[in-house]
Amino acid sequence: MNLAIAMARLLLFPGLLFAVPAAWFFLWVERKSVALMQQRIGPPFPQPMFDFVKLLGKSTPPRRGIDGFLMRMWPLISVSASATAAGLLPVLPARGGFEGDLIFLIALLEIPAICIIAAGFSSRSMFGEIGSAREAVLTVAYNVVFLLAILSIAASQHTFRLEALAQLPVTPLRYIGLLAILICLPAKLHINPFSLPNAEQEIYSGPMTEYAGAELAMWQLSHGMEWVASCGLVATLAIPQFSHWAVNVLAFGVLSLVLVLLLSVLAAATARLAIDTTVRFYWKCTLVFACLILIAFVSSSFMQEVRS
């Protein structure tokens, strides 16, 4: 893919220029839908932007040495990784992509979680360390299901190229994989019932406890862009490709919004689970989805044998 198209994808659509307003919009949808469920008016439309600008204007506590440098770097790495992940989504087909970009996308989606773990430990706050330990356990628990789903989708259609995956017809196995990814999303986005790492009030704010000002603003932005990237990944894999690019973009936007609404409703309707229950839940999910995927694999290859 040539450089101009790659830059346009990273900086314009679906990269930074699209992902930042979309991140704010999704954060607003998350809060507004909870408000509507509780029969109140809720925050005004530009509320996440107000919060972001206000946080940019706040001071940060003085930090010296390598810890201070690392603490300033983690949110920046996290934001750039999630923005790049959003930029890789194949919303407009035949506009780029490279062999193996699915693996790159998965790696980029993991970086915010790693940054959160490292941020909590480098803040040296007791609550930050508890939050980071929880995040590490949670990452190990849900990633088995997540990677299993992604790998089975890719293996069944013999490609690790996102664009090719988006253009291939949707098989039953892909639906099973998407369901597994959907189950992992609440843990990936740290929302209820899996809001263990940043469990507000319980361990203050987890790994974010010592963050303030512009760094906290970057964490918020990174969280919003994780919403965009992970909901966008499910949306691009679930919808068939249309001939006109505008229809593609519209379908991508609408399906992402539906996913955000679904996850917010789930978050508002559930309470936080304990860490052992969460891990047990995801291990059980691994077993169930492994069986389902195996059955789907065997039956599809059997059907092919019969047809040939």
Partner 1 sequence: MNLWKQCMCYCRRHSPWIFHMNSGSCNGCDIELVAALTPRYDAEQLGVLLQGSPRHADILCITGPVTHTSAPAIHTVYEQVCGPKAVVAIGSCPASTNVFIDSRVLVGPLNRHVPVDVFVPGCPPRPDAIIEGIALAASILARREANPVLGDASQTEVHP
Nearer residue to partner 1 within complex by CB, 35 or 261: 35
* Residue 64 makes contact with partner 1 by CB under 8 A: no
Nearer residue to partner 1 within complex by CB, 42 or 68: 42
Min dist. Cβ of residue 169 to partner 1 (A): 44
Q: What is the DSSP letter of 207?
A: G
Give the range of 45-53, 222-230, 277-285, 292-300 binding partner 1 by CB under 8 A: 45-53
CA distance 287 to 214: 42
How distant, in Å, are the alpha carbons of 125, 210, 212, 247 from that of 60?
16, 10, 5, 44
CA distance 260 to 257: 5
* Residue 60 makes contact with partner 1 by CB under 8 A: yes
Min dist. Cβ of residue 216 to partner 1 (A): 6
Residues 6+ apart with CB under 8 A from 75: 115, 119, 211, 215, 216, 218, 219, 222
* Residue 95 makes contact with partner 1 by CB under 8 A: no
* Residue 36 makes contact with partner 1 by CB under 8 A: no
Q: Residue from 69, 94, 200, 247 that binds partner 1 (CB under 8 A)?
A: 200
* Residue 43 makes contact with partner 1 by CB under 8 A: yes
CB 82 within 8 A of CB 233: no
Nearer residue to partner 1 within complex by CB, 209 or 256: 209
* Residue 42 makes contact with partner 1 by CB under 8 A: yes
Min dist. Cβ of residue 97 to partner 1 (A): 38
Neighbours of 131 (CB within 10 A): 30
Min dist. Cβ of residue 277 to partner 1 (A): 22
Residues 6+ apart with CB under 8 A from 180: 145, 146, 148, 149, 285, 289
Query: Assign residue 105 a region: left if phi > 0, alpha if psi is -120 to 50, beta otherwise?
Result: alpha
Closest CA to 26 of 55, 57, 54, 49: 49
Q: Residue from 2, 38, 243, 308 that binds partner 1 (CB under 8 A)?
A: 38
Nearer residue to partner 1 within complex by CB, 2 or 38: 38
Strands (E), the chain: none
CA distance 191 to 205: 13
* Residue 265 makes contact with partner 1 by CB under 8 A: no
Give the range of 57-65, 78-86, 99-107, 162-170 binding partner 1 by CB under 8 A: 57-65
Nearer residue to partner 1 within complex by CB, 59 or 304: 59
Q: Residue from 78, 84, 195, 209 that binds partner 1 (CB under 8 A)?
A: 209
Q: Which residues bind partner 1 (CB under 8 A)?
A: 31, 35, 38-44, 47, 49-51, 53-54, 57-61, 127, 200-201, 203-205, 208-213, 216
